[in-house]
Structure 1
Amino acid sequence: MMLSSAALAQSPAKGDEITGLYWSPEKDAKVEIYKKGVEYFGKSVWVAHPRRDNKNPNETLKNRELLGIDLFSGFHYNDGAYTSGKVYDPESGKTYDCKMSLKGDILKVRGYIGISFFGRTAYFQRIKS
């Protein structure tokens, strides 16, 4: 069966299944994964303990609220994986290379320096509406 170009344009891309709300691993924040252009991002939309980004090495950003900032940025979907992205860790103020994958309602986020073997993995639980 052939799909028309209009039908293809209306159906969501396979990679879009990642979009939605997730609990942080500690359940002290909610992150919304969204798509902008062809890239995927994740911003904090709720935090249990509001605070400023005081660990950020950039002096001009230390006074901003953590609520509403992009923690995940620049991910591209490729054959079941979200790659070439960055993750910002507000606990350390550092940004790491990152890749993500989705299995069911669990978002696996692997931040690393250089190669993914040297990194840390965190698991985010999808929030069902």
Structure 2
Amino acid sequence: MNKFILIIALLTSLSSFSQDIFGKWKTIDDETGEAKSIVEIYKKNDYVFGKVVEILNKDKRDAICDTCEGDEKGQPILGLEIIKNMEKSGQYYKEGTIFDPTKGKKYTCRLGLTDNKDVLQVRGYIAFLYSTQYWERVK
């Protein structure tokens, strides 16, 4: 009986580990419903970041970030780190930012898996107003 409980506990913990936000996600435009890019979410120095690793519209693959500021201004959107400094807080990742290179706006961000572990809820905030997108896991 003890072995059975141990096996169940081990499988549950492995299942939880594989259902995290890390990996590649297809971004879906909340206004058009169109897939725009692939963003890879990864851990770096105890924080979570995300960068654009693929642009799905072939006409925009060489796009430059004209709306960026500082060192990122004029840099390619492909490879751009758009999610920065997220920290785990309960079931969500918070306290970081997400940047929309098409609008040139930076938002406070919250990331979390939905009930469907292959769908990531991405919420950007300005004060008490927010916008939500749902990204799909790339397998």
Sort the TM-score into its range (normalised by shorter chain).
Answer: 0.7 to 0.9
Residue of structure 1 in register with 2:10 after alignment? none
Deviations 1:15-56 (A, max 9, x none): 981100110103221000001122111100001322000122
Q: 2: CA distance between counterparts of 1:86 and 1:16?
A: 22
**Which residue in the other structure is 2:138 paired with?**
127
Paired position in structure 2 for 1:42:
50
Q: Per-residue CA shift, 1:77-118, capped at 9, x if unaligned?
A: 121111101000011111110111112111101101123xx1
CA separation in 1, counterparts of 2:38 and 2:99? 15
Higher helix share: 2
Greater Rg by CA: 2
Where structure 1 has 5 or more consecutive residues not aligned to the other structure, the ranges are: 2-10
Amino acid of the structure 2 residue aligned with 1:19 = F
Aligned-residue sequence identity (percent) comes to 31
Indicate conservation of the 8 Å contact 1:43/1:69, yes or no: yes
TM-score computed with the length of structure 2 as normaliser: 0.75
Does 2:92 align with 1:81? yes
- Which residues of structure 2 form unaligned runs of 5+? 3-13, 29-33
Q: What SS class does the counterpart of residue 29 from structure 1 fall into?
A: strand
1:113 and 2:126 are equivalent in the alignment: yes
List, as ranges, runs of 4+ consecutive aligned residues in structure 1 with deviation greater than 2 Å: 13-16, 58-62
What is the root-mean-square deviation of aligned Cα atoms in Å?
Answer: 2.3
Is contact 1:15-1:80 (8 Å) kept? Answer: no
TM-score, normalization: structure 1? Answer: 0.80
How many residue pairs get aligned? The number is 117
